[in-house]
Amino acid sequence: MTTSYKVAAVKELRAQKKLERAKEEMELKAEREAEDKKHQANLKRIEKKLARIAKGEPVEEKVVSKPKVVKKAVSKPKVVKKVVAKKRGRPKKS
């Protein structure tokens, strides 16, 4: 036995999930297209290189260097140890 507001909430949730799935599908499709485009460019580059090798021309590759990330030295704060008082034990019997 359900009430009308619960049924309405479930319908809204299903509609929202359907929209989210469609959005994810479009994002995945765009990502795959970008990867394919990058792959095709790489294949063209390799094809040109192999053609130059077949002709006997020298192969000059452009080296693309990535910028180096400089890490700053993080100084650890010094830990101050607590001075614990000595336990004295039982007093001597008099």
pLDDT, tens digit, 9 for 90 and up, residues 61-75: 666 677 777 777 667
Structure tokens at 44: 């063209």
Tell me if 94 is assigned to some domain: no
Q: What is the pLDDT of residues 17-57, one digit of tens each?
A: 999 999 999 999 999 999 999 999 999 999 999 999 888 88
DSSP 8-state secondary structure symbol assigned to residue 56: T
Nearest to 36 by CA among 23, 47, 44: 44
The boundaries of the domain holding residue 22 are 1-89
Kindly report whether the global pTM for this prediction surpasses the value 0.75.
no
Tell me if 56 is assigned to some domain: yes
Tell me if 22 is assigned to some domain: yes
**Count of structural domains, the chain:** 1
Tell me if 21 is assigned to some domain: yes
Tell me if 23 is assigned to some domain: yes
Tell me if 29 is assigned to some domain: yes
Enclosing H/E stretch for 27: helix 4-55
Residue 4 one-letter amino acid: S
